[in-house]
Amino acid sequence: QKEVEQNSGPLSVPEGAIASLNCTYSDRGSQSFFWYRQYSGKSPELIMSIYSNGDKEDGRFTAQLNKASQYVSLLIRDSQPSDSATYLCAVKSWAGSYQLTFGKGTKLSVIP
Amino acid sequence: NAGVTQTPKFQVLKTGQSMTLQCAQDMNHNSMYWYRQDPGMGLRLIYYSASEGTTDKGEVPNGYNVSRLNKREFSLRLESAAPSQTSVYFCASSESTGGAYEQYFGPGTRLTVT
């Protein structure tokens, strides 16, 4: 059973701080990793994808991947109240698979 | 360019009734997916279609059927609705070639079965 684990939160950070969201996965053969943001009552929105070990930056967002530790994280710099949402980690396991396995999400609250 | 569209947005059914949820994408994606999302359970895959003409079961297929009508459209049918099928249903699509497996979601259908 492939598993993707996230701390459910809520994670509260003050406005302007760095929010750090973490995700671990069980399948060592996993190849592709994604972060989605989901506002309450809305659908998941893709914000980052990462495929190789290391860091990938996009604006205020940085995704970090460590395949040896089976760990992927998302950093949000200069957090804004509009970043308050649930963040979903998703993992694509093997080369022939079309499926993503989603974590249950971490709820982030940015306090003004 | 609308992305992924779903109809209806809201639906209330009585136990035993049937209905079809419609999904269409205009991104020329090969693969399409149906998920349900329940509190505390996260997103769970019901069925997917890797490419036009193929469909496969996901994690929770019981009580559902799907049809990949063409490359653009993928429908989900509940033949005899049960209260346990009360959920939010999301359709998604992905290119699924050249390493592009990012999935893009529609706005969702909120279904209540009484």
Share of chain B above pLDDT 70, in %: 98
Q: B104 and B90 in contact (C-beta within 8 Å)? A: no
Nearest to A102 among B40, B43, B108 (CB): B43
Cis amide leading into B8 (omega within 30):
yes
Q: How far apart are CA A22 and CA A88, in angstroms?
A: 10
Q: B23, B96, B101, B105: best mutation site toward chain A, by most A Cβ within 10 Å? A: B101
pLDDT at residue B26 tops 80: yes
Q: A108 and A10 in contact (C-beta within 8 Å)? A: yes
Per the document, the length of chain A is 112
Q: A11 and A107 in contact (C-beta within 8 Å)? A: yes
pLDDT at residue B65 tops 80: yes
- Of B82, B62, B77, B76, give the one whose Cα is nearest residue B16: B82
Q: Is the Cβ of A94 closer than 8 Å to some Cβ of chain B?
A: no
Q: Which pLDDT band, with edges at 50, 70 and 90, does B55 fall under?
A: very high
Q: What are A15-72's pLDDT values in tens digits? A: 999 999 999 999 888 889 999 999 999 999 999 999 999 999 999 999 999 999 999 9
Q: How far apart are CA A46 and CA A49, in angstroms?
A: 8
Question: Which are the contacts of A24, defined by CB distance < 8 A and separation ≥ 6?
Answer: A4, A5, A70, A71, A72
Q: Chain B residues with CB-CB distance to A under 8 A?
A: 31, 33, 40-43, 45, 48, 50, 58, 90, 94, 96, 99, 101-108
First to last CA, chain B: 36
Q: Which pLDDT band, with edges at 50, 70 and 90, does A93 fall under?
A: confident
Q: Are strands B4-7 and B19-25 parallel, antiparallel or unpaired?
A: antiparallel
Which residues pair with residue B93 across a beta bridge? Answer: B32, B104
Question: Which are the contacts of B78, defined by CB distance < 8 A and separation ≥ 6?
Answer: B13, B18, B19, B20, B21, B63, B64, B85
